[in-house]
Structure 1
Amino acid sequence: MADKFQLKALITGVDKLSPTLTGIRKRVAGFRKQMERSGLGNIGFADIVKGGAFAAPFITGVQEAIKFESAMADVRKVVNFDTPEQFKQMGDDVRKMSEALPMSAEGIAKIVAAGGQASIPRAELKAFAEDAVKMGVAFDQTAEQSGEMMAKWRTSFKLTQPEVVALADKINYLSNTGPASAQQISDIVTRIGPLGEIAGLASGQIAAMGATLAGVGVPSEVAATGMKNFMLALTKGSAATKAQKDAFKSLRLDTKKLAEGMQKDAQGTMLDVLKSISDVDKTKQAGILTQIFGTESVTAISPMLTNLDLLRRNFKNAGNEAQYTGSMQAEYTSRAATTANAIQLLSNRLVSAGISIGNIFLPPLNEAIATLGPMISMVGDLAAANPWLVKGLLGAAIGFSVLRLAVMAATVATKIFSSVVGMSPVGLIVRGIALAAGLLIANWSTVAPYFEAVWERIGGPLTALWELFKTFVSYTPLGQIIANWDPIVTWFKSMYERIKPYLEPLMQMGEWVGGKLGIVTTGGGSGSGSSPLVNYNGAAMGPSPLVSSGGQSPGQSLLMQAQAQSRTQLEGGLVVRFENAPAGMRADPGTSNQPGLSVTPRVGYRSLGGNSQ
């Protein structure tokens, strides 16, 4: 009894708990569907492992932090920092510059490293990087190119960072007031390098000469070579060759005085020499240029002879401080006011935030790598010492993959089989037709010639037969009926309207007789035996003689008797035996849905003097 009670209690508890669990399950399913519709419910562990979903910003941040860390490591190699805090401050400055300048923090760090390699003082590196980015935008070149140029200018011309910016202003102003581009001019200036100082020329004067040659289409490398030979020839002095001395003498110029003039007033001296050459007869100019400067320099120097006015104007513009100051900054501001640069700044801010987040994960990541490294080495050693294990694992992986494919194929096959088995005959027929149509369509190129050949054979006879059929139908009585169907219907309808008054009394009489005989049931009967029909005199008719007092007709009573006699009589027996039944065992009375059927069990009872035990 204790076991029975526990079982009953368990079943009862489950039954009472089931509705609650069902409700919870429905709510959870509804919540999951809402989350999936919103796009948030589709996030799984696989997405996190692959770097998607919520993990994406953190993984991206770590990646950016790693790249920035590598770039700053290059800075650390070429720049001396007294304390770790100074290095950290430099990194923070670089990231803040990336939020204000259209260049990534990694790119700015590379410019800082280039400046450090050029021995630019640490205190000037921030301004150097900022100026390089602005120069890149203003000159329509990369910031790395600008940084490299600025570093070379500082070294070649021994300029400070403000003086480098002033040179960039001059170049930009020359490009704005002449046909040469800032990139062409700056390339020539960079190629000339320290020779300008030896020749006594300032960087701005070299820029003016470069703007003149680039403006008339001389390539940068040709212009740079010609300018170098031009300046060297004017500064040789007593070291000049006999041919050079003779050529200068023909121009009433002395090589020693020219060398002295280049140190005192290089710009004026060069203009005097060019003016003297331009006054020579045109047929002799090429020979003099060749004697003084060499054959390879004629292409670069002769354009200055024919464009002396342009050269003088460029010298003047390069010396007008009031005009060129701030030119590069204005150019940068104008070019930076674009949607593309705004998008770049937004991206830089996002990357900077990602670096901040990623820096948090770098220390634990390094610790994890340090821990996992030896473990990976151990795995490698194990694999090298036990190649059979690797083969076994690889084979198991391949086998498992094949097994998964087989299981998947079997699953799909069973689903298709189940759906086909569960189809109705109509569904099978429809799907069979669809399958046949699909096969015909898929193989139409093969089947089409067959159908075309068949049609060619039967097309002619069928066409003739169809024309004959149409002719026959048109001239037969059937054809005439079809052709004149509307008038025929109208005629029969009018005829019915004429005979309707004579037919209605006969139809009513038929209904009355049918009702009397129990053949016709009228719509007004109550089932009590009275008929709703009235005779033609308007008097209500009495009870039907064919209806019994019980409200049933004799035909209906006979039908019910026949049905009762035809019922199948329930027959059978129930035998229940219990061998060594436990004391107190009882069987409850049986129940049945058959009227008059009684099942009385006698299990555990015996009759002795009318008493039961």
Structure 2
Amino acid sequence: MAASHPVTITIGAALATSLGSAVRSAQDQLNRLGSTMAELGSRQAGIKQLESLRQQAIEAGKAWQEAQDKIRQLQQAKASGQWSTPALDKARARVAAAEARAADPALSEKARARAEAALAKARESLAAQQAKADARYQAQLDALIAKAGKAKSALDAVKASLAQQTAELQKSGVAAAKLGAESARLGSQLEKLRERTEALTRAQQAQAKNLEQRSAYRAQMMDAVALGGALYGLVKPAVQFESVMADVKKVVDFDTPQQFAQMSKDILELSTRIPMAADGIGAIVAAAGQAGIARHELVRFAEDAAKMGVAFDLSGEQAGAAMTGLRTIFALTQDEVVRLGDAINHLSNNMDARAADMLNIANRAGSTAKLFGLSGAQLNALGATFLALKTPPEVAATGINALLLKLATADKQGGKFQQALAQLGLSAKELKKDIARDAQGTLINFLEAVKGAPDVMGTLSDLFGAEYSDDIAKLVGSLDTYRQAIGLVADETAYAGSMQKEYEARAATTANNLQLLKNQISRLGITIGNALLPPLNSLLGALMAPIGALAQLAERFPVVTQVVVGATAAVVGFKVASIALGYAWTFVKGPFLAANTAIASVRAGLALLQVQAQGAAASSGLLALAWSRLKIGALGLITPIKSAAMAFWSMLPAIGATTAALLANPITWIVAGIGAAVAGLALVIRKYWDPIAAYLGGIVQPLFCKFPVGWS
């Protein structure tokens, strides 16, 4: 008897510790239920695997025994002389016939000699067949021995797996000798845990539903604000587009209001074909109008610039500014600036240079390049070369300006410049003539001359100063790259339509299709909003005078104002009060739902402890002792109920504040009455908690006493 005390104390201590964890969060309890059910399922699978291994062991033993029997049968047949082959039997028959022939006394000498020769030959054949038969026997024996070895290895492997699986099951508390009973016990435990899991899940869902209802009531309280926001949302796109078109109207002269209205329609229609927002296209039109582009060209310009923006990944404002800059700097028509865009896109597709960076350089260095004699395409070829050499666009533009300006004013430069030019075999006078005749060819020839100089860096420093010599040195050192860029834009037919193709490729993406859909919706909103704006403006204008008059009346007759406002508040307050009533009721239900979840959580914890105790205890006496401790600990269920009530008590100030804020009219006194009743109930629970706890304990404790025989 004394030996059982340490075990009893150990289990009691373990269960006492576990009882403290039985009352825990519902989600934590669900996690424990899930892991325990997975563990029990794993044990059931282990039992099935053990049964399968036992069957495999039987089959492997039979296979090994059959192989052993075949070996013994073959050896016995060999030892008794019963083992033979057809060829060996024939050879033996021939030897017997030859021996009988040679022993015939009636044979003549000559015939006897032939008979003896035939006998010798037959005996040789017999010896050969015997050797073959022995080899065949040995091969069969070896094959049977190998087969028996494989069968024995398979049997040993199955036995090892069987022993390992048995040990693992016994370690997890499964009696391997009673697999049927153990499987049934695990099934019963899994079913109980499944029931507890479902009950706890339902309790959690009830709590979640209560919180959802609370959120719904809170959302209804905000409906009035949301309604105003929704009404504003209808006219907001129209208001924004109206502001954009106001910018257009400021810089573009329209002869009639119909022309202005048609421009708005054209911009909206354009936004449904090009994946750019209407306000972005409007910004392009405003930039074009400010640059002095004729009104009849604005829509065409906006479409081309918007396509450039999509192709070059620019905003509407950036694309409009870039295209107007190119048109102004190089004095281009709309068709010519589109061809220049094609050249820029072609360079970008074939060189390590972004189109947006080339536009940056063109707008910064375009004026100097034009005065020098370079076309827009030639300037962008030079800019693309600098970009391919990893020169930042701002630095590249500055370097290009310095290079072209110095060469264009070669005759105005100082002595050091003239001396360096002379060392290259050039003169300022001839250089200016050559630039006027062929600016691009002269620039290439000059750079080649610099490349052939004995001291390239020194020459560049004398010509352009130390500030620009390093950047121009990159160009001198990579003339092949520059020639490649020039070749790319030498033939307009090679890149005609390049920007349009780039636009079409980019416009076909899902992102741009979504932008087109957004533009369609925005167009609808703007159209609807435009219809609402005139009456809205009229309403706003009409309201200004009455509002001023009301302000004066409210100041002169405060009592009348209170009556009017009170009546209006009563109508609105009735709706608010009904919403507030439902909102407050969610707080009333909350603690009781929390208590229900706590009960389900504790029941789940006790079910888990029962499973643990069944696996740990080795006798019915220890199980009874363990469960008696569980029943005593079940009284701990009262704790979460009290915690729930205290939590509700702590929420009362918030409920009271909410209720007070809603008392704008007499109807909402209903809410105040409910709040007072709930507060009174909470006061009673708090004051008389001890007798209530004793009463709840009397109800709860029997719930945990209804268990199978052996657990009482």
Aligned pair 1:374/2:523, yes or no? no
In structure 2, give the amino acid aligned to 1:375.
P
Counterpart Cα distance in 1 of 2:535 and 2:623: 92
- Contact 2:373–2:436, Cα closer than 8 Å, also in 1: yes
Give the aligned partner of residue 524 of structure 2: 353
Tell me the residue number matched to 1:474. none
CA-atom RMSD in angstroms: 4.4
Q: Which residue matches 1:490?
A: none
User: How far did 1:175 drift?
Assistant: 1.0
Partner of 2:405: 232
Counterpart residue type for residue 475 of structure 2: M
Report what 1:446 is aligned to. Answer: none
Instruction: Indicate which of 260, 275, 281 corresponds to 2:433.
Output: 260
- When normalised by structure 2's length, the TM-score is 0.49
1:329–1:469 Cα change, 3 Å? closer
Question: Closer, same or farther in 2 for the Cα pair 1:268/1:401, shift >3 Å?
Answer: same
Q: Does 1:278 align with 2:451?
A: yes
> Is 1:102 matched up with 2:275?
yes
Q: Deviations over 1:506-538 (max 9, x none)?
A: xxxxxxxxxxxxxxxxxxxxxxxxxxxxxxxxx
Distance 1:160-1:386 versus aligned 2 partners, 3 A rule: farther
Specify whether residues 229 and 412 from structure 1 end up closer, same or farther in structure 2 by C-alpha distance, changes over 3 A only.
Answer: closer
Among 50, 55, 62, the alignment partner of 2:235 is: 62
Quote the Cα distance in structure 1 between the aligned partners of 2:594 and 2:307: 69
Shift of 1:400: 12
Q: Aligned residue for 2:373?
A: 200
Q: Aligned pair in 2 of structure 1 residues 385, 174: CA closer, same or farther (>3 Å)?
A: farther
Give, in whole Å, the separation in 2 of the partners of 1:113 and 1:132.
12
Give the counterpart letter for 2:316 in structure 1.
A
Q: Which residue of 2 aligns with 1:329?
A: 500
Which residue is equivalent to 2:110? none
Given that residues 221 and 576 in structure 2 are in contact (C-alpha distance below 8 angstroms), is that contact kept between their aligned partners in structure 1? Answer: no
Q: Deviations over 1:338-389 (max 9, x none)?
A: 1222222122122222222222222211111111122334455677899999
2:360 paired with 1:187: yes
Q: Secondary structure at the match of 1:100?
A: coil
Matches of 1:150 and 1:278, distance apart in 2: 36
Deviations 1:275-320 (A, max 9, x none): 0110112xx2111111111212123211111110111121121121
Indicate yes or no: 2:489 matched with 1:300: no
What residue in structure 1 maps to residue 534 of structure 2? 363
Is residue 59–residue 358 contact of structure 1 (8 Å, CA) maintained in 2?
Answer: no
Q: Is the 8 A contact 2:385 2:485 kept in 1?
A: yes
Match of 1:72 among 245, 251, 259: 245
Distance 1:93 1:400, change over 3 A: closer
Q: 1:413 to 1:388 in 2, by over 3 A?
A: closer
SS of equivalent to 2:544 = helix
Corresponding residue of 1:118: 291
The code of the aligned residue for 1:233 comes to K
Q: CA deviation at 1:45?
A: 13
Q: 1:158 to 1:394 in 2, by over 3 A?
A: same
Q: In 2, Cα distance between the equivalents of 1:261 and 1:305?
A: 19
Amino acid aligned to 1:223: A
* Identity value in percent: 40
Q: 1:439 to 1:294 in 2, by over 3 A?
A: same
1:156 counterpart letter in structure 2: I
- What residue in structure 2 maps to residue 178 of structure 1? 351
Look up the equivalent residue of 1:368 and give its one-letter code: L
| Other-structure match for 1:602 | none
Q: Which runs of 5+ in 1 are unaligned?
A: 1-42, 420-430, 444-462, 471-613
Cα distance change, pair 134–413 in 1 and its aligned pair in 2 (3 A): closer
Query: Given the alignment of the two structures, is residue 288 of structure 1 paired with residue 459 of structure 2, yes or no?
Result: yes
Tell whether 2:259 aligns with 1:86: yes
Equivalent in the alignment of 2:303 = 130
Instruction: After superposition, give the CA deviation of every residue in 1:64-113 in whole Å (9 maximum; x if it has no partner).
Output: 22222221111111001111111111111111101111112222111101
The answer as to whether partners of 1:237 and 1:257 remain within 8 angstroms in 2 is: no
Pair 185,387 (structure 1): closer, same or farther in 2 beyond 3 Å: farther
Aligned CA distance change for structure 1 residues 304 and 436 (closer, same or farther; 3 Å): closer
Partner of 1:216: 389
As a proportion of its length, which structure holds more helix?
2
SS, match of residue 149 in structure 1? helix
CA distance in 1, matches of 2:571, 2:623: 67
1:533-544 correspondence runs (5 A):
none
Question: SS at 1:375's partner residue?
Answer: helix
Query: Secondary structure of the equivalent of 1:201?
Result: coil
Kindly state the Cα deviation for residue 259 of structure 1 after the two structures are TM-superposed: 1.9
Q: Are the equivalent residues in 2 in contact too, given 1:93–1:126 (CA < 8 A)? A: yes
Kindly name which structure, 1 or 2, has the bigger radius of gyration based on alpha carbons.
1
- Quote the Cα distance in structure 1 between the aligned partners of 2:248 and 2:282: 7
Per-residue CA deviations over 1:575-611 (Å, capped at 9, x if unaligned) read: xxxxxxxxxxxxxxxxxxxxxxxxxxxxxxxxxxxxx
Q: CA deviation at 1:334?
A: 0.8
1:458-497 matches, cutoff 5 A: none
Task: Please give the secondary structure, in 2, of the residue aligned with 1:303.
Answer: helix
Change beyond 3 A, Cα 1:115–1:437: closer
Task: Write the letter of the residue equivalent to 1:95.
Answer: L
Shift of 1:51: 3.8
Superposed, 1:400-439 pairs within 5 Å as none
For the structure 1 residues 97 and 412, does the alpha-carbon distance in structure 2 shift closer, same or farther, using more than 3 Å as the test? closer
1:572 alignment counterpart: none
Identify if the C-alpha distance between structure 1 residues 274 and 385 changes in structure 2 by more than 3 Å, giving closer, same or farther: farther
State whether residues 453 and 459 of structure 2, in contact with CA within 8 Å, keep that contact through their aligned partners in structure 1: no
Equivalent position of 2:418 in the other structure: 245
How far apart, CA to CA, are the structure 1 residues paired with 2:626 and 2:497? Answer: 101
Equivalent residue number for residue 510 of structure 2: 339
Residue 140 of structure 1 aligns with an amino acid whose one-letter code is: D
Counterpart amino acid of 2:410? Answer: G
Superposed CA deviations along residues 395-447 of structure 1, whole A, max 9, x for unmatched, are: 99999999999999999999999x9xxxxxxxxxxx99x9988789999xxxx
- Which residue identity is paired with 1:311? Y
**Which residue identity is paired with 1:191?**
R
Q: Distance in 2 between matches of 1:335 and 1:209?
A: 26
Aligned amino acid, residue 331 of structure 1: E
| Alpha-carbon shift at residue 193 of structure 1 (Å) | 2.8
**One-letter identity of the residue aligned with 1:317:** L
Q: Which amino acid aligns with 1:157?
A: F
One-letter amino acid of the counterpart of residue 342, structure 2: D
Alpha-carbon distance in structure 1 between the residues aligned to 2:368 and 2:586: 85
Deviations 1:491-510 (A, max 9, x none): xxxxxxxxxxxxxxxxxxxx
Q: Contact 1:65–1:355 at 8 Å: present in 2 too?
A: yes
Cα separation, partners in 2 of 1:411 and 1:301, compared to 1, 3 Å: closer
Distance 1:304 1:416 in 2: 77
Q: For residues 400 and 199 of structure 1, do their structure 2 counterparts lie closer, same or farther at Cα, with a shift above 3 Å needed?
A: same
Q: Do the aligned residues in 2 keep the contact of 1:237 with 1:255 (CA within 8 Å)?
A: yes
